[in-house]
Structure 1
Amino acid sequence: MTDRNETPALPPRWFVRGAWTGHRLLYRATGRGLSLPRPGGRMGMLRLRTVGRRTGRERAVILGYHLVGDSCVTLAMNGWAEADPAWWTNLRAHPRAAVDTVDGTFAVVGREAAGQERDRLWARFDDYEGWGDIDAFSSRRTHTPVVVLDRA
């Protein structure tokens, strides 16, 4: 357990990047690695396909998420590093994207939650295991966007 004034330790960056790469490879090779979120249990895992803001080519990333109605909610956190993840930068440039889940593929429009909606959605992350102490980890960043992927 950590002191409230102490930010929990993160795994080394090489480990985090290796885990991301491994998860993408697992999905590509087997089609496995996605899961549905279970309130009181683990967060879900989805595959987000965006359009590269500079290349115009499809880019894919595996993300943790939870559901609010028909919308998938995730964090643009880049392993808690200060810089925004590339997928979030791409999604802001081209909000229309596709999501692959255990339940199938569907079109989405991405947006950042703000104000009371952001606060409400942020609190819901505590209902799922796998995120860690997001309040403590988010103190490493100036701002951590809560991203809503609404079905198109």
Structure 2
Amino acid sequence: MRAGIRTVQRISSTRAFARLAPHVIPALDRAVHRLTRGKVLLSAQMLPGLVLTARGARTGLPRRTPLACMPDEATGTWILVGSNFGRPGHPAWTGNLLAHPEAEISWRGGDVPVRAELLTGAERAAAWQAALVFWPPYAAYQARVEREIRLFRLTRRDAHGE
């Protein structure tokens, strides 16, 4: 199993993967997630994953995006890495969270209202180090781009937005 993970990590670090994956993986994830009523996310077979529903920064319309995440069971939070597979621009979902931090995630078959916080400074540095241990290809993604990859912490909020 470990050799399989290393192979996937090597492949996911390539520029070819960065060109192809954004067009294939999210579409497959959304379709399987819908068909299984939120119980299965294909990419989560390798990394923990969720489906983020955030309002569009400009339109305000709900946008659903399947994403890998780093769950922290102890605190009940999730870290999201805006790597965009090592492509130059920030992924759209990060701009959506900056404009509208209150969102919802589908996590393990349930819907969870969350609030997103862009991590900065020492908190970002610590989360980035954890991300590199969690998924080493993030280092290759950061090396390919001039922008600083955005990291967000998602925290549960109650149904009333608190």
Give the stretch that moved more between structures: 13-22 or 83-92: 13-22
2:14 partner amino acid = A
CA deviation string 1:65-122 (max 9, x = no partner): 1123111101012221111111111111111000110062111111111111111111
- 1:150 corresponds to which of 125, 130, 155: 155
CA distance in 2, matches of 1:18, 1:132: 21
CA distance in 1, matches of 2:132, 2:93: 23
Structure 2 spans left out of the alignment, 5+ residues: 1-5, 7-12, 158-162
Kindly, what percent of the aligned residue pairs are identical?
A: 24
With normalisation by structure 2, the TM-score equals 0.76
Give the stretch that moved more between structures: 14-23 or 92-101: 14-23
In structure 2, the residue matched to 1:140 is: 144
Q: Secondary structure at the match of 2:34?
A: helix
CA distance in 2, matches of 1:15, 1:107: 28
1:56–1:85 CA distance, 2 compared to 1 (3 A): same
1:44 partner amino acid = P
Does the alignment pair 1:79 with 2:85?
yes
CA contact (8 A) 1:50 1:91 kept: yes
In structure 2, the residue matched to 1:112 is: 118
Query: 1:3-152 maps to which residues of 2 (within 5 A)?
Result: 8-10=13-15, 11=17, 13-31=19-37, 32-34=39-41, 42-68=46-72, 69-102=75-108, 104-128=110-134, 131-141=135-145, 142-152=147-157
1:63 CA drift (Å): 0.6
In structure 1, the residue matched to 2:160 is: none
Structure 1 spans left out of the alignment, 5+ residues: 2-7
1:101–1:125 CA distance, 2 compared to 1 (3 A): same
CA distance in 1, matches of 2:18, 2:127: 28
CA distance in 1, matches of 2:66, 2:54: 11
1:123 partner amino acid = Q
1:150 partner amino acid = T
1:49 partner amino acid = T
CA contact (8 A) 1:34 1:101 kept: no
1:12–1:121 CA distance, 2 compared to 1 (3 A): closer
